[in-house]
Structure 1
Amino acid sequence: MEDHGPETYGELNADVYDEWHTHDPTEAVDFLADLIADGPPGPVLELAVGTGRVTLPLAARGVDLHGIDASEAMVARMRAKPGGEEIPVTIGDMADVAPDSGDRFAMVFVVFSTFFFLMTQEEQVRCFANAAERLVPGGRFVLECPMPDVARYGRNQAVEALQVGLGHVRLIAVRHDPVEQRFEGQHVLISAEGFRLAPAFMRYAWPSELDLMARLAGLERRDRWGGWRREPFRAEGMYVTVYEKPAPPPPS
């Protein structure tokens, strides 16, 4: 992972990100909008806004949305879309950077597993602390997470075909490090024009580990669902966790 940083994934994948990730974000937008309406007033901060796949439809519903992203290339893709120029975005590492506005937020959220692009436990702990510091009392920190499925990786490695067409094939090759809890992967696109590599490295965490990070940051778990439709959590696939910053106790 030489020269790998928080901006690496976005800088190397921005031009194909929307093409390769086509799932509909409507359920995520609906969930977040409902939670915002049910929470304290104030602006909302998205960590890793990327190309704006959730950012823009949520802002279109009238949410005062701010963003952070490490990749200027990804943010440029969002800026090129209708409404993208209106979203204030700070470029930097979501584990540490403060939004340029200096605001406190009613909600901080991160979707599509992007939290796990923070490659060490220390960075993930710092991100929880950073999010908690930006929240108003009663504010929520929302994460969409993949349940680790280490059984997929026989001998701690796997190759999977993601797309197969008449003129192309897209594969993903992954190596699993069970000690550091990391997946180091490459998307490989092979076509008549040649091939390209798009690296994707992640450090996974178990739900109980995330809950501990939240406690260290002064947050309490409010809900854990099996998806954006509030399905029961069954420890498989993608799931959603909502943490809340408790209000300070009244003066004695």
Structure 2
Amino acid sequence: MTTTLGNALYDQKLASVYDRMYPIGHDTEQAVAFVAALTPPGGSVLELGVGTGRIAVPLAGHGFTVHGIDGSEPMLAELRARDPQGTVTTRLGDFTREGTGRTFDTVTLVLNTFFVAVTKEQQVGCLRLAREQLAPGGRFVLEAFDPAPYHHMEKPDHSMRHLDERSIMLDTLTVDRSQQLMLSTHTIIDGGAPETREHLLRYAFPFEIDLLAELSGLRLVERTEDWAGTPYTSSSLRHVSVYEADPDSPWGGCR
């Protein structure tokens, strides 16, 4: 299957270290609790860009019916290894262009995954599909970083991540402000030949996401700084935004 998100897909190498790239267990627990509180008991959840199931699998453990869509087969393989009982129903596909054909009480898009859609058209497509897959009274939850600190970068940023006792990842980040694009280069050093992967993101400021959401038939319900409910302020470095379908929107049925 082809996908417009090819630049952002995780291959086998990155999928195998993904959870070590983002060791955020405490944040995961808060995210699961946040989504669970939004969803009716025994309700249904769809995660766009479900990845390795960091959030989806625990949600299924809370008794929700959980579906996930992702464009990377290696990431879905990691999810299946984490979920041998198959409590999460998965689908390989591009969440900016195709839906599941059903509706859910809650739809989620977390950990900056919205930005892997690198054009305005892809981002609008993602939001419109999120709205179409919301059951009446449902909520769409989007988590992303606030790009303000990156938007003013004038030279590449270099950093290192410790993956385990035998491997590290070297990261280089460059920003094209004119197009709001971020290019991340990841080089894994683990004793073998160094392997480098590139990912392109198109960042958007919160008010831009709100406008795209409005054009997609969604309206903002609440925004916090994190999953713990910290108030969102001008100094917040990320946001958790909750949207609902706007029944009065002239754009909701447009494709």
Aligned partners of 2:152 and 2:175: how far apart in 1? 10
1:81 aligns with 2:79: no
Write the letter of the residue equivalent to 2:242: V
Give 1:122-137 correspondences, 5 Å limit.
122-137=121-136
1:108 maps to: 107
8 Å contact 2:43–2:64 — kept in the other structure?
Answer: no
Match of 2:31 among 4, 28, 32: 28
Aligned partners of 1:132 and 1:166: how far apart in 2? 44
SS at match of 2:33: helix
1:18 maps to: 19
Kindly provide the CA deviation profile for residues 55-99 of structure 1, in whole angstroms up to 9, marking residues without a partner as x: 100110001111111111111111112356232212111111111
SS at match of 2:231: coil
Structure 2: gaps (5+ residues): 250-255
SS at match of 1:29: helix
Shift of 1:123: 0.4
8 Å contact 1:147–1:239 — kept in the other structure?
Answer: yes
Structure 1: gaps (5+ residues): none
After superposing the two structures, state which structure 1 stretch, 219-228 or 234-243, moved more.
Answer: 234-243
1:150 aligns with 2:150: yes
2:64 maps to: 63
The aligned length equals 242
Change (3 A) 1:83 1:31: farther
Aligned partners of 1:20 and 1:233: how far apart in 2? 26
8 Å contact 2:108–2:141 — kept in the other structure?
Answer: yes
The normalised TM-score by structure 2 is 0.86
Aligned partners of 1:226 and 1:205: how far apart in 2? 16
Shift of 1:134: 1.1
Write the letter of the residue equivalent to 1:200: H
Kindly provide the CA deviation profile for residues 172-199 of structure 1, in whole angstroms up to 9, marking residues without a partner as x: 1112111111101111223443312132
After superposing the two structures, state which structure 1 stretch, 106-115 or 188-197, moved more.
Answer: 188-197
SS at match of 2:62: coil
The normalised TM-score by structure 1 is 0.87
Structure 1 vs Structure 2 CA RMSD: 2.4
8 Å contact 1:128–1:214 — kept in the other structure?
Answer: yes
Aligned partners of 1:125 and 1:65: how far apart in 2? 24
Change (3 A) 1:176 1:104: same
Aligned partners of 1:213 and 1:123: how far apart in 2? 11
Shift of 1:9: 2.5
Aligned partners of 1:136 and 1:166: how far apart in 2? 46
SS at match of 1:230: coil
Aligned partners of 1:186 and 1:240: how far apart in 2? 26
Identical amino acids, percent of aligned pairs: 34
